[in-house]
Structure 1
Amino acid sequence: MAQKDKIKWDNKYKELPKLLEKRDPCEKLVKYINKVSKGKALDVACGSGRNTIYMAGNGFKVDALDISSVALENLSKLENPNINTLLVDLDEYTFQENFYNLITKTNFLDRDIIEKIKKALKKDGIIIIETYMEDENNEKKDSNPDYLLKKDELKSFFTDGFEILDYDEFFNETNELYRMKKQSIVVKKL
């Protein structure tokens, strides 16, 4: 496990318990959840589990992956039988191919993982990605540019074998720590 990342995120959740408070799921998930067959769902880098909880409450069996044991322990307290928390290093994790009906990945950018989750999705399944992008009006000026999307970049990952159902660029919700521009995409596997 990437011990440095684990320590960073465990400490972040301990120092900022607000990050573990109940939050609404991402808007695109709410909009599209009924357009995909119920079954297995995956929440990549689930954090506090806002999307995990919503998917589980809508009849999905959810694998919630994160590197932070603090975040996963908080999510496990719900004792929801539809939620399976997995402490993983995503750099080393092997995704099952053609396994999930619905995959979410929010507020976390790893371009290599996008390629992996594309393979993990079943035909007619949906992927929802929402994460930060470069913008001169971002409040967090010290963001690592490796973790910020370029303009329209999300679209470039889904040119073959996917239908783009929705794409958007917007400033994030007010309950996040910093005002940051984001991209979101909803795609269906053909």
Structure 2
Amino acid sequence: MTISPADSPASPWVQRFARLLPEQSEVLDLACGEGRHSRLLASLGHQVEAVDRNPQALASVQGLRRVSVLQADLEAGVWPYCGRAFAGIVVTNYLFRPRIEQLLDSLADPGVLIYETFMVGNERYGKPSNPEFLLHSQEMLGWVQQRAWRVIAFEEGQIDIPRPAMVQRLCAARGAVAACL
């Protein structure tokens, strides 16, 4: 059986914390791929900016209600979101360290960051295996602690579903959202 992009399940981590996003807010789905999280967030009433460099992947969310699409290479050229702020930012299975500060600067106050990607040790299970794309232990915590954001949840270690991998997961909030939790 082939699973279409519309049938791809959202990450349980994203599903768990999406409820913390301010209601009907603008949310950035960074490196969205085929848009599994864009669809989830739009279904929850958010206006979603879905960005990816792959036009074929973006085609699966093109034209969806509450989803705006931007094709952009996030690793080259200028940061496409300079001067914009989102009440929520969702990132899964993507890491490009040179853009982390710009990404974090794009989170509005109040706002919620939901992030999940691979960490050191994942090379035992396959790709990604390049250290440039693998987080160090507790690396995400350092990103938000220096900004004095509230850590809602953090996990790191091995998972078995949907496939064996080493991951790091973070949900952090800033401003009034953090004060209400």
Compute the TM-score of the two structures, normalised by the length of structure 1: 0.80
The alpha-carbon distance between structure 1 residues 22 and 175, as it changes in their structure 2 partners (threshold 3 A), is: farther
SS at match of 2:34: coil
Partner of 1:52: 38
Kindly indicate whether the alpha-carbon contact (under 8 Å) linking 1:36 and 1:124 is maintained by their aligned counterparts in 2.
no
Matched, 1:163 2:147: no
Partner of 1:186: 171
The 2-side partners of 1:142 and 1:122 are apart by 30
Kindly indicate whether the alpha-carbon contact (under 8 Å) linking 1:98 and 1:123 is maintained by their aligned counterparts in 2.
no
The alpha-carbon distance between structure 1 residues 84 and 42, as it changes in their structure 2 partners (threshold 3 A), is: same
Q: CA deviation at 1:51?
A: 0.8
The one-letter amino acid of 1:46's match is C
Q: CA deviation at 1:22?
A: 2.4
Q: CA deviation at 1:96?
A: 4.2
The 2-side partners of 1:43 and 1:172 are apart by 23
2:12 to 14, 27, 38: 27
Q: Which moved more, 1:135-144 or 1:108-117?
A: 135-144
The 2-side partners of 1:168 and 1:101 are apart by 22
Deviations 1:43-100 (A, max 9, x none): 0000011111100000000000000011001222xx3220111100113333144521
The gaps in structure 1 that reach 5 residues or longer are 1-16
Kindly indicate whether the alpha-carbon contact (under 8 Å) linking 1:25 and 1:51 is maintained by their aligned counterparts in 2.
yes
Matched, 1:143 2:129: yes
Kindly indicate whether the alpha-carbon contact (under 8 Å) linking 2:123 and 2:130 is maintained by their aligned counterparts in 1.
no
State the identity as a percent. 23
Kindly indicate whether the alpha-carbon contact (under 8 Å) linking 1:19 and 1:48 is maintained by their aligned counterparts in 2.
no
The one-letter amino acid of 1:70's match is Q
The gaps in structure 2 that reach 5 residues or longer are 176-181
Compute the TM-score of the two structures, normalised by the length of structure 2: 0.84
2:74 to 60, 77, 90: 90
CA RMSD across the alignment? 2.2
Deviations 1:151-174 (A, max 9, x none): 111111111231111001143463
Question: Which ranges of 4 or more aligned residues in structure 1 deviate by more than 3 Å?
Answer: 17-21, 170-176
Deviations 1:94-134 (A, max 9, x none): 31445211110100011232211211111121011100001
